[in-house]
């Protein structure tokens, strides 16, 4: 596969942009080689600068559940764009999208739109601190909630991939306000609640982890999380990745969770920058201009992102069968990958919930961050490049989730398995 033009441009990019990229995981440092410059997408496929075609399992890291360039989403964005790009004033589409969020999360009274998942989690934590008057927060090892200071403590995703789970530049005094526990360890969570519960403002968690690779929550862990309420600790379900993806009502619907706040992003914006934090009136009324917790944004609730998000959510709501289809595809891919790897005698564990999946190159089970780190990352590199060279674009790190869209077909998956068989 010729990628000469991408290679030349990436060389040039590194002279102007740190690492040549606008977000670290794109740089392929975990797998080596040069990232292709993607210039066009259609359905489940993307095309690079050199004209190569790839079956896409990254989907812009999750937002594109309907696939690339969905005609209805493009039409709605285009129509909105003809009226201007942004006003920095209330727009009717914000109201429509807020109502749609509330249909997916019926316990939510108020929704505040922001432009990135990072802003959503950062603002939700500020709100939790403002509401409770407490400073400590709890997060879980290997969970990633964006790059706000207090959340870059034992973080997942690129922070984990590049070995900087505790970022430089975060003051230690601030990092100390973040207590870090093992994901899926119900007992240590209960213990921390027993001993420090009354100092803790909030527990933030990925209901299904995507940022240490996929980790599935145990029933005992979910129960222990709900024990937080006894201590007046707010529960923040970070559904930036899982919201509208695992079900219309996200992991909250799938697992029957009862959080106090939810953070959303990715699918919410349908491919443009929209995110949100949302919750019960009593808590959300603390946000300015109603209350004393300040949070603002020049482009928050911008009409284009509202239009693409609304079009995406309308399609998902009108087609509940899409989730059953994604589950069937996910199962087929999980079983197919496992069969090929078994055939080749390669130890592995495939973790999957619906359309999110990770292949760990280790014997299972993989339920915690420590277990995820046992994966053979050298083998992953070969898996990744074997697929890429055969036209399959898999996430360029073993500590990320691969995603499916409704544009993927069974034939696409069969092609992927064939590519893997050849590669191995
Ligand atoms: C669970 C989760 N929370 C928060 C974020 C941060 O979102 P963003 O990259 O839009 O800032 C991400 C992804 O990056 C995520 O996966
Ligand atoms: N894992 C991250 C988000 O979910 C990947 C996106 C990024 O950081 O660029």
Four-way CATH pick for 71-318: 3.60.15.10, 3.40.640.10, 3.40.50.300, 3.40.250.10: 3.40.640.10
Note the pLDDT of residue 236.
98
Note the pLDDT of residue 163.
67
- Residue 266 bears catalytic tag: yes
Three-class SS string for the chain? CCCHHHHHHHHHHCCCCHHHCCCHHHHCCCCCCCCCCEEEEEECEEEECCCCEEEECCHHHCCCCCCECCHHHHHHHHHHHCCCCCCCCCCHHHHHHHHHHHHHCCCCCEEEEECCHHHHHHHHHHHHHHHHCCCEEEEECCCCCCCCHHHCCCCCCHHHHCCCCCCCCCCHHHHCCEEEECCCCHHHHHHHHHHHHHHEEEEEECCCECECECECCCHHHHHHHHHHHHHCCEEEEEECCCCCCCCCCHHHHHHCCCCCEEEECHHHHECECCEEEEECHHHHCCECCCCCECCCCCCCCCHHHHHHHHHHHHHHHHCCHHHHHHHHHHHHHHHHHHHHHHHCCCCCEEEEECCEEEEECCCCCCCCHHHHCCCCHHHHHHHHHHHHCCCEECCCCCCCCEECCCCCCHHHHHHHHHHHHHHC
CA of 403 to the centre of ligand 1 (A): 15
CA of 395 to the centre of ligand 2 (A): 10
Enumerate residue ranges in the chain where pLDDT < 70: 163-164
63 lines ligand 1 (CB under 6 A): no
Ligand nearest to the CA of 239: 1
CA of 261 to the centre of ligand 2 (A): 21
Note the pLDDT of residue 298.
98
**Active-site position among 266, 277, 393, 412:** 266
**Active-site position among 56, 238, 260, 412:** 238
356 lines ligand 2 (CB under 6 A): no
116 lines ligand 1 (CB under 6 A): yes
- Residue 99 bears catalytic tag: no
CA of 175 to the centre of ligand 1 (A): 19
Residue nearest to atom 3 of ligand 1 (CA): 145
Note the pLDDT of residue 100.
98
Q: Which atom of ligand 2 is nearest to 26's Cα? A: 9
Each domain of the chain, given as residue ranges in start order, spans 71-318
Ligand nearest to the CA of 146: 1
CA of 195 to the centre of ligand 1 (A): 30
- Residue 48 bears catalytic tag: no
Note the pLDDT of residue 60.
98
240 lines ligand 1 (CB under 6 A): yes
CA of 61 to the centre of ligand 1 (A): 9
Ligand nearest to the CA of 19: 2
213 lines ligand 1 (CB under 6 A): no
**Active-site position among 45, 57, 144, 277:** 144
14 lines ligand 2 (CB under 6 A): no
61 lines ligand 2 (CB under 6 A): yes
395 lines ligand 2 (CB under 6 A): no
Q: Quote the ipTM score.
A: 0.98
Ligand nearest to the CA of 262: 1
């Amino acid at each position: 596969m010729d990628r000469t033009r991408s290679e030349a441009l990436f060389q040039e990019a590194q002279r102007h942009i740190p690492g040549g990229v606008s977000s670290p995981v794109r740089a392929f440092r975990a797998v080596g080689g040069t990232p292709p410059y993607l210039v066009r997408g259609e359905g489940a496929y993307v095309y690079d600068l050199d004209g190569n075609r790839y079956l896409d399992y990254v989907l812009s890291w999750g937002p594109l559940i309907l696939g690339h360039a969905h005609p209805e989403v493009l039409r709605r964005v285009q129509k909105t764009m003809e009226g201007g790009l942004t006003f920095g004033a209330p727009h009717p589409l914000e109201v429509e999208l807020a109502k749609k969020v509330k249909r997916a999360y019926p316990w939510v009274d108020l929704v505040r739109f922001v432009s990135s998942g990072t802003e959503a989690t950062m603002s939700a934590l500020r709100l939790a601190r403002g509401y409770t008057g407490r400073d400590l927060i709890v997060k879980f090892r290997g969970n990633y909630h964006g790059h706000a200071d207090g959340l870059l403590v034992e973080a997942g995703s690129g922070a984990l991939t590049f070995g900087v789970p505790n970022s430089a530049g975060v003051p230690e005094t601030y990092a100390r306000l973040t207590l870090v526990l093992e994901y899926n360890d119900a007992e240590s969570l209960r213990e921390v609640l027993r001993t420090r519960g009354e100092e803790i403002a909030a527990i933030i968690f990925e209901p299904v982890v995507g940022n240490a690779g996929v980790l599935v929550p145990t029933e005992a862990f979910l129960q222990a999380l709900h024990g937080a309420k006894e201590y007046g600790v707010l529960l923040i379900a970070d559904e930036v990745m899982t919201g509208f993806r695992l079900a219309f009502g996200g992991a909250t619907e799938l697992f029957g969770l009862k959080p106090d706040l939810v953070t959303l992003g990715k699918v919410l914006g349908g491919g443009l920058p929209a995110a949100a934090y949302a919750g019960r009136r009593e808590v959300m009324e603390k946000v300015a201009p109603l209350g004393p917790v300040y949070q603002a944004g020049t482009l928050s609730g911008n009409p284009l992102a509202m239009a693409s998000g609304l079009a995406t959510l309308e399609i998902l709501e009108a087609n509940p069968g899409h989730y059953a289809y994604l589950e069937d595809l996910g199962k087929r891919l999980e079983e197919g990958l496992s069969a090929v790897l078994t055939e080749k005698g390669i130890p592995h564990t495939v973790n999957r919930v619906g359309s999110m999946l990770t292949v760990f190159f280790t014997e299972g089970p993989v339920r915690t961050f420590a277990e995820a780190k046992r994966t053979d990352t050298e083998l992953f590199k070969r898996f990744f490049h074997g697929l890429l060279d055969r036209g399959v674009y898999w996430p360029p790190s073993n500590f990320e989730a691969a995603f499916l869209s409704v544009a993927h077909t069974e034939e696409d998956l069969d092609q992927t398995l064939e590519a893997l068989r050849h590669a191995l």
